[in-house]
Amino acid sequence: MNNTASVKKVKKENFSAEMYIDSFNNRIRVDDYLGNLEEAIREAEATAKEQQSEKLIFRGRAESYTELLAHGFQCEAIIDGYFLGSDQYFFCKYYTDQRRASVHWIKEDDIVKNVLAIERIRAVNMPPTEYKLKKITYEDAEKLAALYREVFQIYPTPLHDPVYIKKTMKEGTIYYAFQFGDDLVSAASAEVNLFYKNAELTDCATLPSHRKHGLMKILLEKLEEDLQSQGIFCAYSIARALSFGMNAVLHQLGYAYRGRLLNNCYIFDKLENMNVWVKDLAEAAD
């Protein structure tokens, strides 16, 4: 599979749109749009047809809700406060029956139900002293790429490549990790959107032999502190719907479940459904 993506910016007389063309995951995502929505939809659909995409996603605004429904899109999830305090709606449309079908949906419903039943315990137990928490710099990119290569055979973005990691850091993505000996054994990132003041907590990975110490919870809290210091208060995360552990971590950290994105991206060996979790860091800071 071709692990490539590109951004297409369209500016016409009565609308503009920014599209993320994601060949690896066979989808297109409209990240922003202004002006005539009907023409923006027409442009996005034409691009999807041209790229032979199986899924088209709109990061929709509240005022576009009914029009997107009228054009055959379905709302799958919400991010509270994404657009400088206004909510964002994931509106999706499918172009193949296969991409629209899911064999794990009911099992994933049960996982969400069981996760939400867990008591939220905010106390964080620090790991043994051999684990060193650090903010990742360019010098760590090779070791970070090695961690992602070991944890994820397939991943939606090319994190196996240290050059790509350095590029994301230059664009504002923050990485924290735990070092054990000479190696990085657990890591997570915050992909920051400075214009709309939001951040996606993502790229969560821990080597199986180091998963008993609750490292991810500590990393995510550290990322939240960093975001708050930058005035970023809308935090969200998109977790594999089949991962009880990752969804449980987000629930325990005070994130709210906001829906599930169907057959959203390739992770490990297949297309995965992804749960959306959201947190208002301004409330968390009170």
- Residue 22 exposed, middle or buried by CB count within 10 Å (0-12, 13-18, 19+): buried
pTM above 0.75, yes or no: yes
Nearest to 59 by CA among 236, 270, 178, 223: 236
Boundaries of every domain in the chain: 5-100, 105-285
Per-residue pLDDT of the chain (286 residues; tens, 9 = 90+): 445 689 999 999 999 999 999 999 999 999 999 999 999 999 999 999 999 999 999 999 999 999 999 999 999 999 999 999 999 999 999 999 999 999 999 999 999 999 999 999 877 788 999 999 999 999 999 999 999 999 998 888 899 999 999 999 999 999 999 999 999 999 999 999 999 999 999 999 999 999 999 999 999 999 999 999 999 999 999 999 999 999 999 999 999 999 999 999 998 778 999 999 999 999 865 5
CATH of 5-100, one of 1.10.10.1400, 2.60.120.260, 3.30.365.10, 3.40.630.30: 3.40.630.30
Looking at domain 105-285, its CATH class is alpha beta
In sequence order, which ranges of 53-119 are alpha helices (DSSP H)? Answer: 65-70, 97-100, 105-116
